[in-house]
Amino acid sequence: MQAYSADRSLKGKLRRRIARLAQRRPVRMALERPMISFTFDDMPVTAALAGAQVLEQRGVRGTYYVSTGLAGQTGPMGVYAEAEDARRLAAAGHEIACHTFSHLDCGQANAAAIVGDVDRNSEGLKAWGAAYTESFAYPYGDVSIPAKRVLGGRFRTLRTVQAGLVEDGADANQLPAVGIEGPEGEAAAMRWLDRAAERRAWLILYTHDVAESPSAWGCTPEALGHLVDAAVARGFDVVTAAEGARRLGL
């Protein structure tokens, strides 16, 4: 499988900007303590093993956005995990969440294609033992108005890769998140963590593979551990995406 990039053209950028104004589901929040979620897109094997180990050693849990159609394949982030990995993660208390079956770009697909691909993924996750998924992440972080319209009533939250904090007035159908990826990923995420602590906001972090030599979209176990430790030291509540949404009444 080859790396794919979402539409970065002017048209794509305008589409994403316009989508922010439509099909909104505003979040109302006033947290006593900041929240943080550690999320993993696509569920590479390394995230299911090394990533989970980092979290579990510290007594916290994460959210895994799974595309069942990728299971067992090899991609830019390594081999993607399979059903037994998802079952083990769920049994340990991690959240198994929905991507799409084929890792469909929801920014460019039509509404029928999006619904069909999400339905197929939901059936796959049900066969894996995840009967009900509460959280969704747009593959490639790409958003469109049709995607927000057909998915907004189906999941508690829809997550992007647009950098930012979840604060009062944020859109539950297009939640921001911050990537832990690349050489500067840990430092950038730490700056957002400090900002979230100051503002008592919800910070959603995401990565893909977790390895000593990660892909351009992943991070090292050490970087992930440093961020978990920093969040705990600053008094964050570490929650899954679903638990964070429930706390906000979504």
Helix (H, G, I), strand (E, B) or coil at 175: strand
Residue 9 belongs to some domain of the structure: no
Whether residue 110 is contained in a domain is answered as yes
119-154 tens-digit pLDDT: 999 999 999 998 889 999 999 988 999 999 999 999
Average pLDDT score over residue span 72-98: 97
DSSP-derived pairing of the beta strands 78-79 and 74-75: antiparallel
Per the structure, the complete domain to which residue 46 belongs is given by 27-247
**13 is a domain residue:** no
* Angle, helices 185-199/221-233, rounded to nearest 10 degrees: 10
What is the CATH number for 231? 3.20.20.370
Backbone angles phi, psi at 30, to 5 degrees: -155, 85
Q: Is residue 104 in some structural domain?
A: yes
The per-residue pLDDT for 19 is 74
Whole-number Å distance between alpha carbons of 178 and 192 = 8
Position 129 in a domain: yes
> 78: Cβ–Cβ under 8 A, 6 or more apart, which residues?
44, 45, 46, 209, 211, 215
Global pTM reads 0.94
The pLDDT value given to residue 8: 65
Is residue 2 one of the residues assigned to a domain?
no
Beta strands (DSSP E) in the chain are 35-41, 63-66, 74-75, 78-79, 95-98, 135-137, 157-159, 178-179, 202-207, 237-238
Contact 220, 42 (CB under 8 A): no
- Rounded distance, CA 20 to CA 156, Å? 17
Token code pair at residue 32: 């006593």
In a domain, 8, yes or no: no
Q: Would you state the pLDDT for residue 21?
A: 75
* Number of domain units in the chain: 1
Asked whether residue 76 carries a pLDDT value surpassing 70, the answer given is yes
pLDDT at 44 (0 to 100):
98
Of the candidates 121, 127, 160, 124, the one whose C-alpha atom is nearest the C-alpha of residue 144 is 160
What average pLDDT does the segment 19-45 reach?
93
Residue 165 lies in a domain: yes
pLDDT tens per residue across span 148-171: 999 999 999 999 999 999 999 999
